[in-house]
Amino acid sequence: MIPLSWYLVLAAGIFCVGLYGALARRNALAILMGIELMLNGVNLNLVAFWRYLTPNFITGQVFVLIVLAVAASEAAVGLALIISIYRRRSTVVAEEINMLKW
Amino acid sequence: MQPELLAWLIPLPPILAFFLIILWAYRNNRLSHTIALGSMLISWGLAMALFWVAIRAEDLGHHPIVSSIPWLPTGETSLNFGILIDPLSAVTLFFVAWTCLAIFLYSVGYHNFGKRRDPDDQPGLPPKAGGVEPMYARFFAFISLFAFGMLTLVVSDNLLLLFIGWEIMGLCSYLLIGFWYGKPSARDAMVKAFITTRIGDVLMLLGLAYLYSVTGTLNFRAILFDEQVLHTLAETPSIIGGLSTAGLIGILLFLGTVGKSAQWPLHVWLPDAMEGPTPVSAMIHAATMVSAGVYLVLRFFPLLTAGWHEGASLTPSMLVIAGIGAFTALFAATIAVTQVDIKRVLAYSTISQLGYMVAAVGIGAFVAGAFHLITHAFFKALLFLGSGSVIHGMEHGVRHTHEHVDAQDMFNMGGLRRKMPITFWTFLIGGFALSGFPLVTAGFWSKDEILADAYGHGYLLVFIILALAALLTAFYTMRQISLTFLGQPRTDAAKHAHESVWTMTLPLVVLAFFAVGIGWVGIPEQFPLLGGVLPNWLHEFVGGTLIEHPQALDFNPIPLLVSVGVALGGLLSGWLVYRRVSAGVPDPLQRWLGPIYTVLKNKYYFDELYHFLFVRPAYWFAETFTYRWIDRGLIDGFLHGVGRTAMRIGSFLRNAIDLPIINGLADRFGEGVKWLGRTFRVVQTGRVQEYLIIGLVFTGLLLSYLLLAQP
Amino acid sequence: MTVTQLVFLLTGGVTLGAALMVVLSPRLVHAALWLILSLAGTAVLFVLLEAGFLAVVQVAIYIDAIAILIIIVIMLTRRVMIRGETQITRNWWLGALSALILFGGLLILLDMVPIIAIDTPPPIADADQLLEDLGRSLVDVDRFILPFEVASIMLLAALIGSIMIAWPLTTRAEGEGDQ
Amino acid sequence: MDQILSDPFGWFNHLLHSLLEGWGLSPGFISFALNLLGAFVMGLGVLFLTLFLIWAERKIIARIQDRLGPNRVGPFGILQTVADLVKLVTKELIVPVGADLGPYNLAPLLAVMSVVGLWAVIPLAPKLLGADINVGVLYVVSIGAISTLSIMLAGISSNNKYALLGAFRTVAQMVSYAVPMVLALIVPTLLAGSMGMVEIVEEQRSIWFLVIAPVAALIFFISSIAEVGRTPFDLLEAESELVAGFHIEYSGLRFGMFFVAEFLHAFTISALTTTLFLGGWQGPGAAEYPLLGLFYFGIKTALVYFVVIWVRGSFPRIRIDQMNQLNWKLITPLALVSLMVTAVVEKLVVEMGLIRIGVHLGANLLLLALTLWALRAYSRTVRRRVENPMSGLTQSAHQSLSGE
């Protein structure tokens, strides 16, 4: 069978890739995608733990559902923000949206 | 639904209506009066159902409808909070429900509902040009609260709850008498009414407390239906020599009645209470408030008459009651003869009729008193509403012909019977009932029964006084009727008066029916011809309230003849005198009586007397003593002293401690923060991702520390 | 190396590779497509973990809702995409570095914890009751009803908030003018 | 022998099993291979069915429009579609300049895949279905939405503004109509107490859900038509406005795939409606003789499909603002309300049988009546505004008229 560690490593990998995307991309949409990837890795992690440690106690899946809800609303709000920023400043580059500084 | 629940529910709809209107509905007139009327209708329906249950009940007196819940735990005992429906409260409920309903409906028309709101009416003044009342909704809220108070009082099973209802009504009468607070007279009247009744209430509260301290309970059944409680009360001498405890408590409670139902010497407020809108006058003087006073006396009849049995000499308390009642009856009647304001006449007649009832109780005629209470409630409500309708018509006439005459002065009226027939006929019925027109009207039977009791038990003095009062009553009633309706119009306003809307006339008709019909349930058995045609149901039923049933005394022609005589004589003389009074002619009595007339017209100068005795000293006390010496001198001086010292201490602290030390530190701290900000602000690049990186770095550091520090 | 392991390795490899392509591919549309692929891979992994419901939900929410939303926004803002600029920030290496460090740290962490040793999942008591249990536990008063309700409130807030944020400028001004 | 009647598919399956075992293959591989075969047969079956469907639809539409329709190739022109197919296959595959090749080629595949994938969970007859997964409804939703993805990809990648506009419209339409569809799907789930298609069909043994929840059925039907994007919801390929919508740049077999996907999808939603609301294969004697069940299923599906074609033949195409208003102002709230109503009734009415059904039906009819009443009131106001636009007409009213 598949060891737990594989899942965990894979989840960690996806998470870090997503993190890199969130940190390194200029386009806000790409950043959003990176964040989705991170959440995805977390979900994978949760499900793996649920399956391997407490398969008869549903908490893990509930947690995943909550994370999914969070992801959905985060995507909705984030995209709405991107659109309105695009309307006002006609850019979706995260670096150029830097008026809020010293 | 079992009767207890009915009784519990009866008072609730009006209070709900009150809150609904005050909190939400007050913007919408139609909604407001719909709520008020609807709630009253519900209460009425419940009351009728309960009344039906009550009269079907077997020997209701000894097995009344009671239920109670613990309310205030006082020490080991606890004040309960419950309802008691025995014959007395049942009949009271009956007429209260009917009259309240009639008055509610009447108010709709009286306040010109449906007319446009006149822009130059402002709240606090009666509408000038016949627009709808500016504070329409508020009126219905108050009157609903009033009805709640009365219903609570009637269904309550203990003195405390009764007192609560009593006080609510006091408040409402205050608010409603001063409903048009724009008028100074109304303001004075409301204050007067409130304070005068307050005197009685305080004494009554004393009696209540005394009763509780002696018996340890306030429940009616526990006190009034318990032989040896009454016996001990009657036997034990009270703190005042010569009076038994029962006597003293009785007198104290009775003083409450004196205040509430305007007996001499606390009668002064009631005529002035005419400043309020007419439905209020009807509400106060006929349906609820003054009846409440008599109701209290009737309720405490066993206590008042403790240690007395039929035929025995009166106890001191009864003497007092009988005396005050009889005296008030005559006294108010004499004043009423000379009044010209249509509503004031009725006010004084109310006082005198109440005197009747009180006197009846005083001489131990329980059933007669109750009987007269009921009949009087109906026909007096009828009369008031009728007078209101008359005034309404007159005001319309005054508006129509712009002549400045007092729309309430009977000498400005005359000949209205053609203008407003319904009002006339109903008013006529009411007036005859009031003056005890023989055989048909209700007033005759009740009044006759009182007289018969007075005569039959040999209290001749009372009998004579009441007979005189009855004579006067008939006289001034006829005077009023003929001045108002008969003869020729004395002013153009009277010419142009017109009949009121149906919402005002319908209640008149309903009440007129009762003013006639209600009397027939109380015809004594051995009455010639009529006796026994209808069984004397009332005597059986209401008499059952007492422990031992009062036996109906046997028939005696003398009081009957007397009462018939005085009624017819008074009516006849009144008609003869006032048949044709032409415009501008002074009251014929003025010629005959001369100075006495002036004295009567000024109500024996009681207002002036009270003003001299109480009001001025009170003003002096408030002005000089309380305000100048206590308030200005002592309290303010002390406060100023405190203030000055506090300021000195404060200035010292500020200059010595606050400025140098604390502010200095604070400024230096602020500078430091500024410097920090200036130094580290370069971190704020405005780029989200860099923030994220920084956050990550610190989180990583923290985590690694946490993980690596612990082995 | 059993079949399931093979399947896992394949799927995991696809998922991870797709994730890498998401963050590396210069064109956003492709990135979005790769994202979809990677999410689908995760769904398959869920199936491998016997969480079929979650797999379907993953597809339903991520692929059908989020990915499509992202593609819509990409289409709406494609003018920016067309500009032939670099898609990488100036200090991308910081990001890469921190990501790598994090990965290493996570590996170390995994090495620390003992449960990593588990290699066979315990049997599920009643697999077919699992879904029902999940459903019940979400609305059970003494289990997860509170987070569930909070999540729903949050979704509602997100809905309204995104509508308000993305409201067109002109009509919004008019709307404010009305009030 | 009677096993053929009672459980023919199982029998056939067994037969193949024994056959392959006879070849000495490992059981795991055998089951794998058989599943593969089943999927293959299923997919091909529905794809071939499409050929007939297209013909049927063209015929019916022609009759509705008082034409003859295809009548040259084969008897009644039944081979017309085959001819078209041949033509499509032989056509050149044109790829526009600047097309984004990956998505461009992916889109048609996804389109067909999503539709064929739906058939995996539809129970054609007792014990005859691809996979009985316990979240079948959810599966339907999620796989069905992949067609949205395909259309969007086609729109983006084919570097053509008409295609892009078509894609925009598709997204707007499909994403918004997915909401009431899912809401309406929850109702049968609620009634059956399961998300599995098989259980849902089993639950309709006594009474069809169409009777219990007509509102939900109606909503599901309408919104799935919108999902498919057929008339009156075919804005995404409104020839008059944007030449052919998203697949303007597609030619040859790629276009054929979209074509097939659309028609097959229309048939698929008929099958779904049958399964969810018309009792699937349920019918007298179906439980004993599965082939009978298959027959029933075919009949019902064909009927629903006829209704779909009928709608297409009867209704004009609606404007996009009407489409949005219809969804967000009418169907979605109605779906929510009907869901609540069903849930509440299900909770309140404990006793099963006729009373439950009656209460459900009554509640639904009441809901329907209220909706119609509200619609009449709304249309009155709109008409009043149209008649005298200057009478206190506010900004919002303007918008609701012009549908912005």
How many Å apart are CA D266 and CA D297, to the nearest integer? 16
Residue C85: predicted pLDDT: 66
- pLDDT tens-digit map of D241-263: 666 677 778 888 888 888 888 88
Domain that holds residue D16: 1-90
Whole-number pLDDT of residue B236: 78
* C122 is a domain residue: no
d(CA B41, CA B38): 5
**Final residue belonging to a domain, choices D90, D106, D134:** D90
Local confidence band at D219 (pLDDT 50, 70, 90 cut-offs):
very high
| Same domain assignment for residues C72 and C2 | yes
Which pLDDT belongs to residue D3?
67
Domain boundary, last residue among C50, C68, C84: C84
Mean pLDDT in residue range A46-52: 89
Nearest CA in chain B to C113: B707
Q: How far apart are CA B433 and CA C80, in angstroms?
A: 98
For residues D77 and D120, membership in a common domain is answered with no
Q: Which of B127-136, B669-678, C54-63 has the lowest mean pLDDT?
A: B127-136
B383 pLDDT above the threshold of 70: yes
Residue B137 has pLDDT above 80, yes or no: yes
Q: Name the residue with higher pLDDT: B658 or B536.
A: B658
Backbone angles phi, psi at C165, to 5 degrees: -65, -45
| ipTM value | 0.71
When pLDDT is cut at 50, 70 and 90, the band that residue C52 belongs to is confident
From chain C residues 70-129, the ones with a CB under 8 A of any chain A CB are 70, 72-74, 76-77, 79-81, 85-90, 92, 94-96, 98-100, 102-103, 106-107, 110, 115-116, 118-125
C156 touches chain D (CB under 8 A): no
| Residue A77: closest C-alpha in chain C | C162
Confidence bin at C174 (pLDDT 50/70/90): very low
D342 or B611, which is more confident: D342
Q: What percent of chain B has pLDDT over 90?
A: 6
Supply φ then ψ for residue A14, to 5 degrees.
-60, -40
Q: Per-residue pLDDT for D350 more than 80?
A: no
Residues D353-362: tens digit of each pLDDT: 788 888 888 8
Phi, psi angle pair for B81, to nearest 5°: -150, 95
One domain, residues D99 and D235: yes
Q: Are B103 and B143 in contact (CB under 8 A)?
A: yes
Is C63's CB within 8 Å of D145's CB? yes
Confidence of residue D236 (pLDDT cuts 50, 70, 90): low
Whether the CB-CB separation of A17 and C99 falls below 8 Å is answered with yes
Q: Helix, strand or coil for residue B45?
A: helix
Give the pLDDT of residue D403. 46
* Inside any domain, residue D385: no
Name the 3-class secondary structure at B688.
helix
Structural domain total, chain D: 2
Which pLDDT does position C14 carry in this prediction? 93
> Is C51 part of any domain?
yes
Structure confidence by residue, pLDDT tens digits, D30-59: 888 888 888 888 888 888 888 888 888 888
The answer to whether chain A touches chain D by having 3 or more C-beta pairs less than 8 angstroms apart is no
**For residues B206 and D402, which has the higher predicted lDDT (pLDDT)?**
B206
Note whether residue C98 is domain-resident. no
Report whether pLDDT(A14) > 90. yes
Instruction: Establish if B636 touches chain C: CB-CB under 8 angstroms.
Output: no
DSSP character string of B111-178:
TTTTSPPPTT--TTS--SSS---TTHHHHHHHHHHHHHHHHHHHHBSBHHHHHHHHHHHHHHHHHHHT
Give the residue numbers spanning the domain of C79: 1-84
Among residues C26, C60, C84, which one ends one of the domains?
A: C84
DSSP-assigned letters across all residues of D244-296? SGGGGG--HHHHHHHHHHHHHHHHHHHHHHHHHHS-TT--TTTTT-HHHHHHH
Q: How confident is the model at residue B43 (pLDDT cuts 50, 70, 90)?
A: very high
Q: Are residues C13 and C78 in the same domain?
A: yes
C86: left (phi over 0), alpha (psi -120 to 50) or beta: beta
Do D64 and D125 sit in the same domain of this protein?
no
Measured CA to CA, the distance from residue D182 to residue D177 in angstroms comes to 9
- Whole-angstrom distance, CA of residue C46 vs CA of residue A50: 11
pLDDT for the residue numbered D150: 87
CA distance B693 to chain C (A): 7
When mean pLDDT is compared across B79-88, B424-433, C108-117, D57-66, the lowest value belongs to C108-117
Report chain B residues whose CB lies below 8 A from the CB of C98.
693, 696-697, 700
Q: What is the pLDDT of chain B when averaged over all its residues? A: 84
* pLDDT (0 to 100) of residue B18: 92
pLDDT (tens digit per residue) in D83-118? 888 888 888 888 888 788 888 888 889 888 888 888
pLDDT at B446 over 50: yes
Determine the residue among C25, C61, C64 to mutate to test chain D binding: the one whose Cβ has the most chain D Cβ atoms within 10 Å: C64
CATH of domain A4-92: 1.10.287.3510
Burial classification of residue B127, based on how many CB atoms lie within 10 Å of its CB (0-12 exposed, 13-18 middle, 19 or more buried) = buried
Residue type, D196: G
- Any residues with CB less than 8 A from the CB of B315 and at least 6 apart, and which? B244, B246, B247, B304, B305, B306, B307, B308
Nearest of B348, B186, B373 to residue B287 by alpha carbon: B373
Kindly tell me whether chain C and chain B come into contact, counting contact as 3+ Cβ pairs under 8 Å: yes
Distance from CA of B664 to the nearest CA of A (A): 28
Residue B405 has a pLDDT of: 76
What integer best gives the mean pLDDT of chain A?
A: 87
Cα separation of B235 and B243, whole Å?
Answer: 10
Cβ distance of C5 and A2 shorter than 8 Å: yes
pTM attached to this predicted model: 0.55
pLDDT at C173: 46
Determine the pLDDT at residue D171.
Answer: 79
pLDDT in tens, C81-108: 555 667 777 778 888 888 888 888 888 8
Residue B339 confidence (pLDDT): 85
Question: Nearest CA to CA, how far is C62 from chain D (Å)?
Answer: 10
Confidence of residue A44 (pLDDT cuts 50, 70, 90): very high
Asked if B293 contacts B257 with a C-beta cutoff of 8 angstroms, the reply is yes
Both C3 and C80 in a single domain?
A: yes
pLDDT at D20 (0 to 100): 82
Q: What's the structural domain count of chain C?
A: 2
Chain B residue at shortest CA distance from A26: B689
Amino acid C177: pLDDT: 39
pLDDT digits over B109-126, tens only?
888 887 888 787 788 888
Note whether A23 contacts B685, CB cutoff 8 Å.
no
For the segment D113-166, what is each residue's pLDDT rounded down to a tens digit? 888 888 888 888 887 777 777 788 888 888 888 888 888 888 888 878 888 888
pLDDT value of position B269: 85
Read off the pLDDT of each residue in B340-364 and give the average, rounded to a whole number: 87
Output B352 or B582, whichever has higher pLDDT. B352
DSSP class of residue B547? S
Residues of A within 8 A of B686 (CB-CB) are: 97-101
Mean confidence (pLDDT) of chain D: 83
Task: Say whether pLDDT at C114 is over 60.
Answer: yes
What percentage of chain A carries pLDDT values higher than 90?
Answer: 22
Mean pLDDT over D371-390 rounds to 85
CATH number at residue C57: 1.20.120.1200
Q: With a cut of 50, say whether residue C172 has pLDDT above it.
A: no
Contacts of C91 in chain B (CB under 8 A): 690, 693
| Local structure of B344: helix, strand or coil | helix
Backbone torsions φ then ψ of D129, nearest 5 degrees: -155, 160
Q: Are residues C67 and C141 in the same domain?
A: no
**Which region among A42-56, B312-326, C75-89, D287-301 has the lowest average model confidence (pLDDT)?**
C75-89
| D158, D262: one domain | yes
